[in-house]
Structure 1
């Protein structure tokens, strides 16, 4: 939305279109790449989720959890493989539909021409409805997070809600704090790698023509669609034999983080590039700039919002990853999400809530620091838009 030229909306209104007509006929269609990318990401993340269904699903079964149970509970790798293949079908279908929807027309809005700052609406009805909707969503989200902190500071979840610091004392003084530091360390290494590779791959997919482009585009999103448990088992088997012995090391966990989060940066980069006029790059080339100079001085600055969106999402997803790394952790390298799952499995909900509270605080602090750093560098808050 931040990249849309407001003059296009102003032209529609000058021609007599109402604000609602302008939104439905101009703004919404121009935002199609971002909407389609968001829908695809939400779909594939939901269909491949394993942690939430295992903890909350009860008798309601989903494919990703069944793959895990087939492999780890029934020791039936053939059955797990069949379910994994079935799981890929709707994910690939969603990708094809998203690609068709987003690429059937042009969405270029960044052309290099000067554009005025967007005038925000002051219509009381629109402002009131928007505020009510956003406030409702924000309240529900804060309620979920608030209950985590209630459980973290309660003596016994569901019975005694008296205030206590026992759960945090258990984490920081009675238990090993390595899961916290290891999660931060590994996520901080994986996030920039994922963000940089994602932008480069997005540029290649959108701006270059080569044999196998469609294959690369499909593969770039499959790591999100494939259940994390399958990827984790695959890593554990493949990297457990010479010459790639990485089991039990930080490298294999970082590799898992990068592979799982890179599609987010790719989709953000693709959505951003679809709004940038290729004429800007052609003009740079006509002035004598090489491809690397054009990428560095023209494309990357315009893709800054997409890059930071991918970087932020990569860090948060790495911090909160569980299904892809549950088979890769070891006594030497432990993660917060695995500690949360272990606490829930033994019935220590207060301890699990305390671990979750620490995870929430850490990710929130990272987002705040990133925003502060951008402001110091003269960037705008929209550079963090996701």
Structure 2
């Protein structure tokens, strides 16, 4: 019986077990588990030993430390590529104590029924030290440059591979510790990698809203997690600025200048190069500052960690502008299945959570008042999910 035929039989037998996430992993090439690309699998165990046959031996004179020394607790998988593109994958241990290494081979087909692999010539490997800072994860990941990764810290991923439709790849996963608690496996096929897309160039002018005079101001661009992806400072004479950001994501832009209202807004990225001008308003009573990246747990007033940049921005503003008081107004989106009074109370609790943060960082209580407006004042269309999320915001109103 050929290996290729065996792979088909194995897939047919265990495909239902994939959905139950309780698959018994085998330790031989002939019983490699067939996996679909662009799908997530959860394995509740890792293989013990090397199966019925010790298939891989490292050549004695080889100094290639990126290869396995020998088979040990190895699990075998087969991936058939459904289309041309770039393949990435991630192996995520259930327990960070488990140390998963892997080798990836391209299966060579001789005819319709016979195939084999060259065990001493993988196309990708990762034999790095377990990295607890990434929870022991490993795989192929965009942004990494090494094809064959030797033991050592901070090298958990290898670079993606360009694949073609119909190619078959064999993945051997090795856990150096027996009795592993399992792992999840997720693969992705992309036409083009994010790192290959040219960065977006955004330029424009920052000026005073009333006089239209150019201003020198600090610009910070953040992704949806609140991580800064670009910073810039506009020119004091011309107000001109320019920055580059990665393609394929959504961003917010924050512009900060002392004596002016903080500007926070979504960055509408439409082209590879675009012009985006901003006008800043001088501080005045009833001026509004909107924070879109202050987030809370669902149905809760607990602030999530990614809110830190906006919270710190508000804190710095109050520390600089000591003569101003503020109203803190919480907003939810409008949910037709939720009582309006509940949303109003939730939004008020969230406003108080912001006040407590500021109190804990030295801002006087008498400078702050809290309100909740629920979902009564949306800024965006609640019928469009990508816009409705923007209505979940914290609004600051300046008071003298």
Task: Give the TM-score of the pair, scaled to structure 1.
Answer: 0.22
Structure label with greater radius of gyration: 2
> Which structure: greater helix fraction?
1
> Which structure: greater strand fraction?
2
Q: Relative contact order: is structure 1 or structure 2 higher (C-alpha 8 Å, sep ≥ 6)?
A: 1
Task: Give the TM-score of the pair, scaled to structure 2.
Answer: 0.21
